[in-house]
Amino acid sequence: MHRLILDGPPGLEKEGTSMSTDRTAGTVVTAADYETCPVTRVLRRVGDKWTPAVIRLLAAGVHGFNELDRSIEGISRRMLTRTLRTLEDEGFVSRRTPAAKAMRVEYALTELGESLREQLFALGRWAEAHDTALRAARDKG
């Protein structure tokens, strides 16, 4: 069973489904927690350089490979291929070849990818709402 690092309100951990507990030192985050926590896995994925741009574009509709390549400034075809493959492996993006156009490959968000997009856009609205505070902190630092 995996354990979550970021799994809900603190102090509400349930035995066996949540963080390790060390009787003397309180909550401990182990290397295993990090490897298996599905939340940090998603964060690592969307924290990379190109994934947000791909999700952004696919949120607006189906794109061919070349359309994505043209629409993301600075991405190489190799990095785009790799980013799309990882998103496919994680179940967020699907690839299909329209029957009438054997040379064309189209990419779209899956239902799971669409659900992730909603989460990321919610985080976007949060960042926008807190933009003044975020900038003030950085300007001070």
Assess 31 for contact with a second copy (CB under 8 A).
yes
- 88 binds a second copy, rule: CB under 8 A: yes
Partners of 109 in beta bridges: 93
In the set 48, 96, 97, 101, which binds a second copy (CB under 8 A)? Answer: 48
Query: CA 117 to CA 56: how far, in whole Å?
Result: 8
Contact residue for a second copy among 76, 77, 98, 136 (CB under 8 A): 136
Total residues contacting a second copy by CB under 8 A comes to: 74
Distances (CA, A) of 124 to 59, 65, 117, 119, 135: 14, 26, 10, 9, 15
Stretch that binds a second copy, among 76-84, 85-93, 100-108 (CB under 8 A): 85-93
Q: Which of 91, 96, 101, 104 binds a second copy (CB under 8 A)?
A: 91
Structure tokens belonging to residue 29: 């985050």
Distance CA 131, CA 134 (A): 5
82 binds a second copy (CB under 8 A): no
* Helix 51-59 / helix 38-46 crossing angle, nearest 10 deg: 90
Of residues 49-78, which lie at the interface with a second copy (CB under 8 A)? 49, 52-53, 55-57, 59-60, 67, 70-74
Q: Which amino acid appears at position 139 of this protein?
A: D
Judged by CB under 8 A, the stretch of 26-34, 76-84, 97-105 that binds a second copy is 26-34
